[in-house]
């Protein structure tokens, strides 16, 4: 088992269903890599499997992809795009640095423009282990491919790409899942991809090794929930689309967890006490019960940020 496969197994153990499938398939080169295609609008599709949810947006100039899945999934992803359009993939936008959202693009032609937040470009170059999931230095897939797939265009606060029906707005609202989380808005469609700042209805990874924060998370996400004109949300890993109201509720869920951890710390308790006592408040209907390892990892991050 390679170091990367151990990392995938760790992610699977942490409870991300889509990655559980990938990890189970990973060790066998013969295992089929299946990308499923969900149509959301005539010009917007969600491509699932092999890591994070990929958005496919069809513009006059070509196809735009938001995120590119696990290592080895770049060609299967391109094959899935081909079932929808003959347009070439001209641009990739990354929501954040993690390998299950970026590694497929090393298999893309060098002509594809890659756009990401400036911090995400730095984290991709650093190949830092995901906090509490990976340990030690990670293989740098972009370096191994001579820099292929690294961002060629970056932004700091906001960036508008294209115009009219093809317009895409990128926003950075602060630290959350990582320190480079990008919200990708398709204004003509009222759709926003929020990446792993809202992966699914469960505690998120707060990846402090890549700039993530527990204490800042809820406030950052509340800003995303307030972007005007958005009606439909694409999550990092969830099976169906959601709404901005769901994003708002998720930010409140995280705020409640942060408050519980901070109350425990100020009350002389320990992280282990939080792991033993925290349960999802009843008002968050339909939320998963988080894995104890995730509760512990997130509580540790919040603990370290709390005076």
In whole angstroms, give the CA distance from residue 305 to residue 42.
44
CB of 110 to Zn ion, least distance (A): 25
Rounded Cα gap, residues 64 and 57, in angstroms: 5
Tell me the per-residue interface mask from 266 to 295 with Zn ion, x by CB under 5 A, - otherwise.
Answer: ------------------------------
Instruction: Kindly state the smallest distance separating residue 302's Cβ from Zn ion, in Å.
Output: 18
Tell me how far, at minimum, the Cβ of 264 lies from Zn ion, in Å.
26
Nearer to Zn ion, 196 or 298 (CB): 196
Q: How far is the CB of 247 from Zn ion (least distance, A)?
A: 16
Q: What letters, b where the CB count within 10 A reaches 16 and e where it falls short, cover 179-199?
A: bbbbbbbbbbbebbbbbbbbb
Q: Tell me which residue of 175, 188, 192, 202 sits closest to 235, measured CA to CA.
A: 192
Using CB under 5 A as the criterion, what x/- string covers residues 97-116 for binding Zn ion?
-x------------------
Distance CA(65)–CA(78), nearest Å, equals 10
Closer to Zn ion at the Cβ: 59 or 235?
235
By rule CB under 5 A, what string of x and - marks binding of each residue 59-98 to Zn ion?
Answer: ---------------------------------------x
Q: How many residues bind Zn ion (CB under 5 A)?
A: 2
Phi and psi at residue 210, in whole multiples of 5°? -120, 40
The residues that bridge with 229 in the sheet, in sequence order, are none
Q: How far is residue 270 CA from its own chain's centroid?
A: 29
Query: Which residue intervals of the chain are DSSP H helices?
Result: 3-13, 17-25, 74-82, 99-102, 118-126, 141-144, 217-225, 244-266, 271-277, 292-305
Which of 181/300 has CB closer to Zn ion? 181
Residues 182-241 within binding reach of Zn ion (CB under 5 A):
196
Q: How far is the CB of 98 from Zn ion (least distance, A)?
A: 3
Chain contacts with Zn ion (rule: CB under 5 A)? 98, 196
């Amino acid at each position: 088992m390679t170091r990367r496969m151990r990392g995938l197994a760790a992610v699977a153990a942490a409870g991300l269903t889509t990655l559980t499938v990938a990890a189970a398939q990973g060790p066998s080169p013969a295992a089929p890599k299946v990308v499923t295609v969900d149509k959301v609008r005539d010009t917007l599709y969600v491509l699932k499997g092999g890591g994070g949810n990929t958005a496919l947006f069809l513009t006059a100039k070509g196809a735009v992809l938001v995120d590119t899945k696990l290592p080895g999934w770049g060609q299967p992803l391109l094959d899935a795009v081909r079932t929808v359009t003959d347009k070439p993939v001209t641009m990739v936008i990354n929501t954040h640095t993690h390998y299950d959202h970026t590694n497929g693009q090393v298999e893309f032609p060098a002509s594809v423009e890659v756009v990401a937040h400036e911090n995400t470009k730095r984290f991709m170059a650093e190949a830092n282990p995901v906090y509490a999931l990976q340990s030690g230095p990670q293989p740098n897939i972009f370096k191994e491919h001579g820099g292929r797939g690294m961002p060629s265009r970056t932004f700091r606060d906001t960036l508008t790409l294209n115009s009219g029906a093809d317009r895409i707005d990128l926003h950075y609202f602060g630290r959350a899942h990582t320190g480079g989380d990008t919200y990708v808005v398709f204004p003509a469609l009222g759709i926003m991809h929020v990446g792993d700042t809202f992966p699914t209805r469960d505690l998120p990874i707060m990846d402090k090794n890549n700039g993530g924060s527990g204490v800042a998370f809820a406030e950052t996400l509340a800003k995303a929930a307030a972007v005007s004109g958005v009606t439909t949300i694409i999550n990092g890993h969830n099976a169906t689309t959601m709404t901005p109201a769901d994003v708002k509720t998720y930010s409140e869920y995280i705020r409640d967890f942060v408050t519980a951890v901070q109350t425990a710390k100020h009350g002389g308790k320990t992280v282990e006490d939080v792991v033993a006592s925290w349960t999802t408040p009843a008002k968050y209907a339909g939320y998963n019960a988080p894995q104890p390892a995730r509760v512990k990892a997130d509580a540790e991050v919040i603990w370290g940020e709390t005076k």
